[in-house]
């Protein structure tokens, strides 16, 4: 059974950093492209970042480019999102989602940026 | 990248059919057959219900169908049921090798 479990969210001050994790089970993460998608409270979905299968090629939304970094650890079958220089508008539930079609999603981890 | 345009809300009675539109540009919806639709119930993660414009993942009811014409994609739900009440989002791959979501549509079953 495919499962994705996010962790690492929390309360952080503006300008701070957090590393979000997404632990995958039931499939080999390296063989799939992976995404991070976020949803601000009461708002819609926003695509954040993508890492191409079996490569280190990455893509980012303009809103996070230069501040966020997506990566994966093949040995741990895990996906990460390093978030730096956080702003109030980054407050959201962050989901990891598998593949080009976003066919499986985790339950999300809440990031709150506030002083 | 601007969000794809969806109606904020739609409604229908049980047994009826409804259609939700998703309008983009030739750089996203119109340029690629990589349009997907997701159902999101309150407090839950989104669930993929349509991919590649009109394909259904295993286990998704055949009451859900997708189509595309030009820069507009559509999701049709036939035989509306109370359990279909949820938020629905479209997404598309774009010419910048990124993805864009629609603003979401709240479906109310009357």
Give me the percent of chain A exceeding a pLDDT of 70. Answer: 100
Q: What is the pLDDT of residue B2?
A: 83
Structure tokens at A90: 């980054």
Q: For residues B84 and B56, is the Cβ–Cβ distance under 8 A? A: no
Structure tokens at B38: 């997701």
Q: For residues A47 and B98, is the Cβ–Cβ distance under 8 A? A: yes
How far apart are the CA of B43 and the nearest CA of chain A, in angstroms?
Answer: 9
Q: For residues B86 and B108, is the Cβ–Cβ distance under 8 A? A: no
The ranges of chain B with pLDDT < 50 are none
Structure tokens at B63: 């009451």
As a whole number of Å, the CA-based R_g of chain B is 13
Q: B interface mutation test: which of A44, A52, A59 has the most B CBs within 10 A?
A: A44
Those residues whose C-beta lies under 8 Å from the C-beta of residue B1, and which sit 6 or more positions away, are A61, A62, B94, B96, B98, B100
CA–CA separation, A92 vs B32, rounded Å?
29
Residues A86-100 have a mean pLDDT of: 97
Q: What is the pLDDT of residue A44?
A: 96
Interchain proximity A101–B1, CB inside 8 Å: no
Task: Identify the three-state secondary structure at position A38.
Answer: strand
Of the candidates B52, B57, B89, the beta carbon closest to that of A45 is on B89
Task: With cut-offs at 50, 70 and 90, classify the pLDDT of residue A12.
Answer: very high
Q: Is the pLDDT of residue A13 over 80?
A: yes
Interchain proximity B45–A47, CB inside 8 Å: no
Q: Given the DSSP bridges, would you call strands A10-12 and A109-113 parallel, antiparallel or unpaired?
A: parallel
Q: What is the pLDDT of residue A66?
A: 97
Give me the percent of chain A exceeding a pLDDT of 90. Answer: 97
A65 burial (CB, 10 Å; 0-12 / 13-18 / 19+) is exposed
Residues A61-79 have a mean pLDDT of: 96
How far apart are the CA of A106 and the nearest CA of chain B, in angstroms?
Answer: 7
Q: What is the pLDDT of residue A100?
A: 87
Q: Is the pLDDT of residue A73 over 90?
A: yes
Q: For residues A88 and A113, is the Cβ–Cβ distance under 8 A? A: yes
Residues A3-13 have a mean pLDDT of: 97
Cβ of residue A46 closer than 8 Å to a chain B Cβ: yes
Interchain proximity A103–B98, CB inside 8 Å: no
């Amino acid at each position: 059974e495919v499962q994705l479990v996010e962790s690492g969210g929390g309360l952080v001050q503006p300008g701070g950093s957090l590393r979000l994790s997404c632990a995958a089970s039931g499939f080999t993460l390296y063989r799939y492209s992976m995404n991070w998608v976020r949803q601000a409270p009461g708002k819609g979905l926003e695509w954040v970042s993508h890492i191409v299968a079996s490569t280190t090629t990455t893509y980012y939304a303009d809103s996070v480019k230069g501040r966020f970094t997506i990566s994966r650890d093949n040995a741990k079958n895990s996906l990460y999102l390093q978030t730096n220089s956080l702003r109030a508008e980054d407050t959201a539930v962050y989901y990891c989602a598998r593949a080009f079609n976003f066919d499986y999603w985790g339950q999300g981890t809440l990031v709150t940026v506030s002083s | 990248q601007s969000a794809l345009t969806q109606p904020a809300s739609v409604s229908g009675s049980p047994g009826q059919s409804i259609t939700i539109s998703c309008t983009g540009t030739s750089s996203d919806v119109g340029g690629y057959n990589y349009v997907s639709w997701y159902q999101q119930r309150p407090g839950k993660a989104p669930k993929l219900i349509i991919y590649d414009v009109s394909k259904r993942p295993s286990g998704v009811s055949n009451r859900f169908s997708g189509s595309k014409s030009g820069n507009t994609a559509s999701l049709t739900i036939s035989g509306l049921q109370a359990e279909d009440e949820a938020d629905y989002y479209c997404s598309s791959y774009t010419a910048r090798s990124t993805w864009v979501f629609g603003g979401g549509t709240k479906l109310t079953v009357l």
